[in-house]
């Protein structure tokens, strides 16, 4: 992108929510801050992009490290393109891995820090193109703790992220805490000081922060003291999908089924590991390895119902594992507000359909819901705030669209007002407000 093609402009800033699962960017426009359509071909959902980089290991010009980003990166991985998918890069910050290289195929390797820098460069270029001017200043979101209980490593993580941002052309870098940024939208509406729980429940984690908001606090340059506690659990949307797939979809392929009765011995349950791996996103491709497929093929006599085994083999041979995971997610979304959804498994077997009701979905994820609610209560306890003293619950993150989850959390804090932000971009929007306040002034 030649710099000469973009005009100089005092609004040369942006805000970046560099998330573990997804990222988003906001740039200034006449009406305020606007989210950049990072993947416009995906419509409204394209305002956020998976935090993923795929290094291609086949074709020409491999020395130039050809790569794909976001949904294109994930699609290449799912399609079996030769290469290396990098996800959750944010979790590497503050660890010894930042100084190490990782293999990306075709005899090449790349430093983890360079992977993060490459992704930030992609975001900066998208912001500059959308804004029509060179973007040189940025407000970056950061978690309350990159690294728990280790201030030195936490500081090193922020320094590494700042260094990556400067490497790709940002001349001024500021940070704001993600839960504070998420609460900015709500803070704009309040007329008195309040204590709020920010519930950020995405694909991989459910994170909670108890924060203080109010008119007198909006202009404070350092909001660290307004974060009274943060806590979370590694349970969220992808875990819901996995449990729903195991509970409602994979039984049609033999999960939980039994083998034939042999003599006086009671029938044995068919081996389950292949099903657990098929329902775990990052393990699905391992199920397609030739040796694994041969092992499953040899299990035919372990099934009392031969159709179960045949369906499983079709799934492996046609590489339908990620499609099944997508169908489980679709079912979760479809029943999240009530009703019943039909999962059409025609690619496995003609006229094979599985019904999923809201009640069945709830039963599948009941234990996960309990643990998430307990994490929210633990966060309030760590902050020294009784549940009844919480003024508001601010929901953000894709999984907060699950009605029952929001209702369970609201019941745990009976005096709190339930406020729903932008499920996919509250943090980026709040960071945009911060950028406008600081750089716009």
Helices (H), 38-187: 70-78, 112-131, 151-167, 178-187
pLDDT value, residue 337: 73
pLDDT value, residue 265: 83
Q: Is 55 a member of any domain? A: yes
Which secondary structure element, helix H or strand E, spans residue 382, and what is its range? helix 358-383
Which secondary structure element, helix H or strand E, spans residue 237, and what is its range? helix 237-244
Taking Cα atoms as reference points, which of 255, 197, 64, 175 lies closest to residue 431? 175
pLDDT value, residue 97: 84
Q: Is 193 a member of any domain? A: no
Q: Is 153 a member of any domain? A: yes
Taking Cα atoms as reference points, which of 196, 198, 205 lies closest to residue 368? 205
Give the tokens for residue 310. 């045949």
pLDDT value, residue 83: 92
- What's the mean pLDDT in 295-307? 95
Q: Is 58 helix (H, G, I), strand (E, B) or coil?
A: coil
CATH code assigned at 114: 3.30.420.40
Q: How many domains does the chain have?
A: 1
- The rounded percent of the chain whose pLDDT value lies above 90 is 71
Quote the Cα angle for 71-75-80, to 5°. Answer: 155
Q: Is 69 a member of any domain? A: yes
Q: Is 9 a member of any domain? A: yes
Can you tell me which residue has the tokens 């943090």?
427
Neighbour-count burial of 263, counting CB atoms closer than 10 A to its CB (0-12 exposed, 13-18 middle, 19+ buried): exposed
Pairing of strands 172-177, 194-201: unpaired
Its domain, for residue 56, covers: 3-170
Q: Is residue 297 within 8 Å of residue 314, measured between CB atoms?
A: no
pLDDT at 333 over 90: no
Q: Is 249 a member of any domain? A: no
Summarize pLDDT for 64-91 with one digit per residue, the tens. Answer: 899 999 999 999 999 889 999 998 889 8
pLDDT value, residue 1: 43
Q: Is 226 a member of any domain? A: no
- The rounded percent of the chain whose pLDDT value lies above 70 is 98
Q: Is 26 a member of any domain? A: yes
pLDDT at 2 over 50: no
């Amino acid at each position: 992108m030649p710099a000469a093609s973009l005009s100089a402009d005092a609004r040369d800033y942006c805000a970046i929510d560099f998330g573990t699962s997804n990222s988003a960017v906001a740039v200034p426009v006449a009406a305020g801050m606007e989210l950049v359509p990072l993947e416009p071909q995906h419509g409204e959902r394209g305002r956020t992009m998976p935090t993923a980089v795929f290094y291609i290991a086949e074709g020409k010009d491999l020395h130039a490290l050809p790569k794909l980003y976001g949904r294109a990166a994930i699609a290449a991985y799912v399609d079996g393109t030769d290469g290396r998918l990098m996800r959750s890069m944010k979790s590497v910050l503050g660890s010894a891995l930042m100084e190490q290289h990782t293999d990306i195929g075709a005899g090449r390797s790349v430093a983890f820090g360079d992977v993060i820098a490459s992704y930030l460069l992609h975001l900066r270029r998208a912001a500059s193109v959308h804004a029509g001017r060179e973007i040189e200043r940025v407000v970056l979101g950061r978690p309350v703790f990159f690294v728990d209980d280790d201030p030195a490593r936490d500081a090193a993580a922020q320094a590494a992220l700042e260094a990556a941002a400067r490497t790709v052309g940002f001349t001024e870098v500021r940070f704001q805490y993600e839960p504070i940024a998420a609460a900015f939208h709500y803070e704009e509406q309040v007329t008195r000081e309040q204590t709020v729980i920010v519930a950020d429940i995405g694909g991989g984690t459910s994170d909670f922060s108890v924060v203080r908001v109010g008119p007198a606090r909006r202009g404070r340059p350092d909001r660290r003291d307004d974060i009274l506690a943060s806590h979370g659990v590694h349970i969220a949307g992808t875990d819901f999908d996995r449990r729903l797939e195991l509970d409602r979809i994979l039984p049609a392929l033999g999960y939980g089924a039994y083998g034939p009765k042999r003599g006086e011995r009671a029938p044995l349950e068919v081996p389950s590991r292949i099903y657990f791996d098929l329902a775990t996103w990052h393990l699905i491709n391992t199920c397609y390895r030739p040796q694994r497929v041969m092992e499953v093929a040899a299990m035919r006599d372990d099934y009392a119902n031969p159709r179960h085994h045949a369906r499983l083999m079709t799934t492996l041979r046609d590489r339908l594992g990620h499609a099944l995971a997508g169908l489980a997610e679709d079912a979760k979304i479809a029943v999240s507000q009530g009703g019943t959804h039909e999962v059409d498994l025609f690619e496995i077997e003609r006229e094979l359909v599985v019904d999923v009701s809201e009640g069945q979905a709830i039963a599948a994820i009941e234990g996960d819901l309990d643990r998430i609610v307990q994490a929210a209560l633990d966060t309030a306890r760590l902050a020294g705030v009784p549940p009844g003293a919480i003024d508001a619950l601010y929901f953000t993150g894709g999984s907060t669209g699950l009605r029952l989850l929001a209702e369970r959390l609201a019941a745990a804090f009976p005096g709190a007002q339930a406020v729903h932000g932008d499920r996919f971009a509250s943090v980026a929007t709040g960071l945009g407000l911060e950028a406008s306040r600081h750089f716009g002034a």
